[in-house]
Amino acid sequence: MNNLTIHLEAGTGTAMYEQLYEYLRNEIIDGKISQREKLPSTRFLATNLGVSRNTVDRAYQQLLAEGYIEAKPCSGYRVCDVTSLYLMKKEVDEERVKECSQVKEAFSGIDFTKGGIDLETFPLATWRKISRRVLQEDVSILETCNPLGEYKFRCVIADYLYRARGVVCTPEQIIVGAGNDYLLMLLTGILQGNHKVAMEKSSYEQARHILKQGGCEIVEVEADENGLQADELKQTDANLVYVMPSHQYPLGVVMPLTRRLELLEWAKEQNAYIIEDDYDSEFRYKGKPIPALQGYDKDGRVIYLGTFSKSIAPAIRVSYMVLPVELMDSYQKNGGMVSATVSKIQQETIRLFIKDGYFERHLNKMRNRYKEKRDCLLECIGDLRADWNIRGEDAGIHLLLEYPAVYGERLEVELRKAKIKIQRVGVKENYEALILNYGHLRKDELVQSGTILKKIINQL
């Protein structure tokens, strides 16, 4: 070591220290200062290099902290065994990365498969105003969040849920989280144990996946025109059921009250829970929104899930879960340690958006707009021949076009040729349907695609 020549460019103490540190580190990494070799004393090196002892000492301390050298009592510093070192020389395998990152080509036609919403009516100016107001507050807005969500935000949610959805709960039962997917993940932790979840064959794929991931076994149950069949459910040994009673995805079914009550009775008898995913219940075009199943539950068997992603914007990652009181202990024990997932700033912005009446106004505007879009699409499709039906058109932002399954293949091929992307789903024996998500499409796109669809149907 003593025979190494070190060239340092003159500079401030810190600059000299940096150079010396870098130099020594590289020498060690490259094996030029060999393992177990003793470093010169700080005094010796300082004199030799014409720098202060402090400069050398700082370089040694940094090397020591990073573990390149070690201090031996009464004998100075020695180089450690870092022969397997490869610091920052790794080359990223770009090819492999590209392969994995699955960059999909953007689709240029009309895409009915995306579950997006209409953003043109979004009151961005209002949102901006409220955001500014929220950030005018003191720094407490930046402090640690309550894992459940801020209390005053949950009060506003509880109030909204009661008024708009007939959900009966206290703010204490509400957990705010960054999206339904996350809340489902959290829920599998809260429920503990390996649950058997009954789901319709055609249901929300993401939920199925997350529940499975969380250790649940999925039990498929048949559905009819009223949704998941309670009789079939009773034949299984499921102790959890996942439903979307207000507007099932993808089939668009609105579960009637009698079926809902059957589910509640089953849950009570079996000591089971019902997960009610109320994802787009705000939009109903015929009559009033149908109250949530949770509102009918007197035995605390319903776990209610809702989201602002459909009603405000998909980029706003805020959902809420209402737990039955009985599950709150289990939340504290098994989920309470998970930190909050929604920033206080966002919680407060949404709270004011609701409290000051903007949310309700926005929902009304959206509801009208979606109704117009739906009407527009239905008008273009026009009257359908026998055995062809429109389903689930009275709520939400998607509807189904049902037809004898024999036409499915040709329908898809012809639509693909016309650059219209759709998804087919099996409905019942010999029948399937196109899932038409129309919320995010412009009216002119709906007219265009609806007209083409009509033409294709007529030529089948």
Work out whether 8 is an interface residue with a second copy (CB under 8 A). no
Smaller CB distance to a second copy: residue 369 or 454? 369
Q: Which stretch binds a second copy (CB under 8 A): 43-51, 323-331, 370-378, 419-427?
A: 323-331
Rank residues 55 and 457 by Cβ distance to a second copy and give the closer one. Answer: 55
Should residue 76 be labelled a site residue for a second copy when binding is judged by CB under 8 A? Answer: no
Closer Cβ to a second copy, 44 or 182, answer by number? 182
- How far apart are CB 82 and a second copy at their closest, in Å? 6
**Range 236-255, binding a second copy (CB under 8 A):** 254-255
Cα gap 138→192, rounded to integer Å: 40
- Reading phi first (left if > 0) and then psi (alpha if -120 to 50, else beta), residue 70 is in beta
Site for a second copy in 87-116 (CB under 8 A): 87-88, 90, 92-94, 96-98, 100-102, 114, 116
Q: What type of residue sits at position 222?
A: E
Extended strands (E) in 359-449? 389-391, 398-404, 420-421, 423-428, 431-437
For 459, counting Cβ atoms within 10 Å of its Cβ (0-12 exposed, 13-18 middle, 19+ buried), the class is exposed
Q: What CA–CA distance (Å, rounded) separates 92 from 238? A: 47
Q: Work out how close the CB of 230 gets to a second copy at its nearest, in angstroms, rounded to a whole number.
A: 12
Question: Does position 224 bind a second copy by CB under 8 A?
Answer: no
Asked if 152 interacts with a second copy (CB under 8 A), we say no
- Mapping DSSP onto H, E and C, the string for 56-87 reads HHHHHHHHHHHCCEEECCCCCEEECCCCCCCC
Interaction between residue 81 and a second copy (CB under 8 A)? yes
The distance of closest approach from Cβ of residue 40 to a second copy in the complex, given in angstroms and rounded to an integer, is 19
- By CB under 8 A, residue 68 contacts a second copy: yes
Rounded least distance, CB 255 to a second copy, Å: 7
Residues 6+ apart with CB under 8 A from 55: 13, 16, 17, 20, 46
Q: Whole-angstrom Cα distance, residue 170 to residue 323?
A: 10
Calculate the CA dihedral of residues 167, 168, 169, 175 and round it to 10 degrees: -10
Of 32, 72, 128, 416, which lies in the binding site for a second copy, with binding defined by CB under 8 A? 128
Q: What's the length of the chain?
A: 460
Span 279-318, contacts to a second copy by CB under 8 A = 286-288, 290-291, 295-298, 309, 313-318
- Collapse the DSSP code of 405 into the 3-class scheme (helix H, G, I; strand E, B; otherwise coil) and give the result: helix
Q: How far is the CB of 7 from a second copy (least distance, A)?
A: 21
> What is the closest distance, in whole angstroms, from the C-beta atom of residue 205 to a second copy in the complex?
7
Contacts of 207 (CB under 8 A, 6+ apart): 180, 181, 184, 199, 242, 277
Nearer to a second copy, 315 or 386 (CB): 315
CB of 215 to a second copy, least distance (A): 7
Q: Does 258 help bind a second copy (rule: CB under 8 A)?
A: yes
Stretch in the footprint of a second copy (CB under 8 A) among 38-46, 161-169, 231-239, 357-365: 161-169
- Min dist. Cβ of residue 387 to a second copy (A): 18
Site for a second copy contains 343 (CB under 8 A):
yes
Block residue for tokens 């959805």: 165
Residue 74 or 337: which CB sits closer to a second copy? 337
Q: Per the structure block, which two tokens stand in for 270?
A: 């079996």
For residue 209, state whether it binds a second copy (rule: CB under 8 A). Answer: yes
| Residue 328 sits in the site that holds a second copy (CB under 8 A) | yes
- Distance of closest approach, residue 390 Cβ to a second copy, in angstroms: 16
Binding mask 167-206 for a second copy (x = CB under 8 A): -xxx-xx----xxxxx--xx--x---------------xx
Which residues, other chains included, contact 234 with Cβ-Cβ below 8 Å and sequence gap of 6+?
266
- Is position 62 an interface residue for a second copy (rule: CB under 8 A)? yes
Which CB atom, from 212 or from 410, has the smaller least distance to a second copy? Answer: 212
The residue within the footprint of a second copy, chosen from 23, 122, 358, 431 (CB under 8 A), is 122
Q: Contact between 42 and a second copy (CB under 8 A)? A: no
**At how many degrees (to 10) do helices 358-381 and 344-355 cross?**
80
Hey, what are 93's tokens? 């395998």
Check binding of 409 to a second copy (CB under 8 A). Answer: no
R_g of the chain, CA atoms, integer Å:
31
Q: Check binding of 385 to a second copy (CB under 8 A).
A: no
* Token pair of 138 as six digits: 């003191």
Listed ranges 273-281, 326-334, 378-386, 431-439: which one lies at the site for a second copy (CB under 8 A): 326-334
The answer to whether 324 and 301 have CB atoms below 8 angstroms apart is: yes
Residue 424's nearest CA partner among 209, 113, 106, 104 is 113
